Chain A
């Protein structure tokens, strides 16, 4: 009953966010919301730009890459010299070079894969000045790219798709900072820790044990890490830590924060292209897959753990190993699916302890390309890539030139969409194959057999999708996993963003073709079905052989599928 009402309230809250946050974001990026214009202007002066100076897609993408290059280098530098910087009560020394490299790339790419324990590695300065800053910036960059691509559909005969510097400034000032601030206040009010004091030691006089309790500025970091679908928590165990996720209510708020912007961006898309129905069509495609995965994974986790059942113990509360009983089996599954179908990757339970087929839920969610609803911005621009492929297939079926929102989808668009859709599966499968083929890769997983394979596949899938969710059964802090993982994250992020911006640029330059009787409609059930089919077929065909070697064979080895 509790899970049912959790779902009902979640739908209501997300419905409100979809309508009003979506509309607000469209106003911000269209330049109609201007109440902070006085605060925007100094940034534009500093950057030597203005909202009137629009960029072609090449300049837009080039600005993004230069900006990212500067930020990743600074992040690396600050982690390497953290021992000489303030806000370091535990006197941590420099973060080792391969780990700093992986972490800088991880937070740049919105992945937040963590090969370190936050409370035992990072100074407060690094947590605030490097990691939290990147959580704002990477989310803003993702949203900016989605908006720039959207302009490709909303503009006619335009050589430009907006201004990168203006878009990220507005995203930061009007959307991310205010919402994250308000959510941070709430989380701290609920008991999430927010302090610059060092850890405290507590002596238990009964058993004579002295325990060190890590503290730090975790509450506000939790706020943006979820709002920006980053997922990299202050503590090693992420949102399973009671000082960052203290109550069932904060757990629910974290889910809402994660899903709000990705779902709401479909409304923003509809509003900007002048057809809310098109936004609704994308939303329904997202909800169909998301809802199915929540149901599937929750059901799987509500079953007994096969290993516990084999010991003759019957559980009436599902698979509770590695789960916080305050959250429960099904809501933990909801949380996990919410984090892996976005690009968030936060955990409030141990995925490694999920039933094999329960672990298949989050893993396959990432393999579908994280478009349901996907990350902040990355979900929208990736599902638009799938939508273009769906339109192309639909056009082939009825023998007409495919169109989407009146824009003809021709060879260039299909090549760019194909590249955007295939980059992620290619890198994930190649890097997984390399890892299981060499000693350095095989040294990572903590389990042998299919479960060990799942741990490696999960790690590269998570990084290639910029998710950051960890199965918690792999030692990734080795030169091999730090460096190859960083390359996986970079290609998985920018290898899709750049084709998406190119698509935006190519489409913006086109005129709109008036709809005719023979036009394939892209705002009805047929289009939704086709888009869902494309997402599942691309993800299924590319990953099914690999998944068969991991979670599926492991589940079957228990003698039953469910």
Chain B
């Protein structure tokens, strides 16, 4: 403690700025960790809370396979089971509307006659007790019960009119009751409205189908038994689960995102380790003489080691605390981001109010921060403890690497590189793949000092040419002390490699999706019930296809029905349409099978076409049989083709529309692909479609360009994380290079003083420091980009095998890479300002006496 008070504290006070920079590594890592998990947990909590509050006393929920809904007859089948006490049908749909305070309103269509057994509608105010009078409520299908919160926010009262979009155009609804806050009324952040289920069927164009049935079992029947019996009776086309299972399913949708973000937080902490390691190396370098004196005065190695470990702990504690606080602030952004892409990708609407604090997460993140800080200081502490008093006063030499160390590092790198290359020969083994990947990175880290020297020698000449004095001295400094630069360059290398790899994956995905859009989404217009194709709110009658075809300028119309179904525990998208006609218009990339043949077989109900990502993720190929759960039982079909289709991240299936009608007993459609006559104007036809639908049904007409822009926006949102590592890389450059230069300036105090003594200008000294910074950055860029180019291969493989199941072609991300050069070089230049100032500020006389 005395050593900390007498030695560490004055040093920390003297180097406050560096202390802050050092701590910022941990702050960043902890903040990212907290932000990601808190944002994630908030969204999941919000969803499960809505599910829970809407579920009420529901013990089991019956869904048809995926999101397709099912006909009313299944309700009778459920009600007739001996174990079922209450079976209440539900339609649940969020709608966007024009009121100012909220964008989404969750409409819950319920059978009020049965539903009071499940959910408590605590009605606050009713118009002449209408909301309390079921006959009165049901007899007026425009009846709506809203929450008090929603009413207050939108200045609504009983008998107020609300205009809501319906499948038949905008309709006026009347508020007949207001629910008191709490329970059901607090679901979906209070943005909830109840209406009669049969009115909801009409409103959402559901025909005579329900979304789900909520079940309460009779006393004496266990949930497990009830679940088993209902599942047996209803068959594989239905899922019978407790309400909590929906939240789990929802959470699984976030899997890929969570994995990405976890990788980011681990990466941020790794960079934090590098920064702290670097800072402590600086501290050890600057305090070598101090350590030598302490050792000479009798301080043991153990005491020296502990001194640095305690220092790192003292840095880690406040840094972790600040990181947690900062993370909670960032969590708002993270939450919005997750909500945004869940809506655009899966059509989930949610209202989140406030973030969910997890004490476990906060404590864990705090401890991880402190642990990381201590871990990062282990090697510098060891290095400090091993300083011999005699060598403590020899400047600079400890920054050199011995020939033996060079040889060992190179040999180890060669071995790891060879192992990594050998692993490429076993591409099907995931273990070999990941070992190969890790070894390739380790080999790069081991080779870094050697490469630094090589590159520094290589750059010496151009540096000398550009700045004869400053360039030469800066390059020589790097060549003479590779150890000093290794950590910074290593951190820079890793972060830049990640940027390049992620940038490459994004670019490849973007290009691939763009190609797919060009070949697949080629109709001139898309008619949907939502501006987001994947979250269509209403279904259209099949007769609308004929109506659209009759509009002047329309050459052809193709109705499509899309539903989500669950296969092998994951949500897939099932697309039902006239496949022969579809493949007349589009020519998707075929991976297995023949396009014409697969269209023929599928249209005859003799096969299913699957997407490449579904094929890869589930290892399904031509002639494998697929069991598709439908409300009418299992539909067993052979796979007759594998094509490129990016409709769903977990894969999609294409079947013929007639097969869908037969098994799902639903002829409704959700999207129409409209092809125009050659001379027709898309804008004119769009206007005609909208005019034709006015007051009859709610439609959105998207041009091909608008739809492509929407899809690409979603892709960008998904891969928007690419820019986070760029920020981290810039931070690494700023912190790492500043630290390295401070050590360099300290080590070369005498050298720089001599330069000034013989007439060197302050400007020249500053220039030496900034040139060294630029050289470090340049070396980091070169080896980081080289490693990134290699990592990109692995990243594409990981994306294909583990995340999206799509084989993306290798495309080096030139744009991102070119962006890195000015960003990192500028960061390096900025980071040299303080060390440069420090170098010219010191007294020449004192500096000459330094050794």
Q: Is B truly associated with A?
A: no
A interface residue numbers (CB < 8 A to B): none
B interface residue numbers (CB < 8 A to A): none
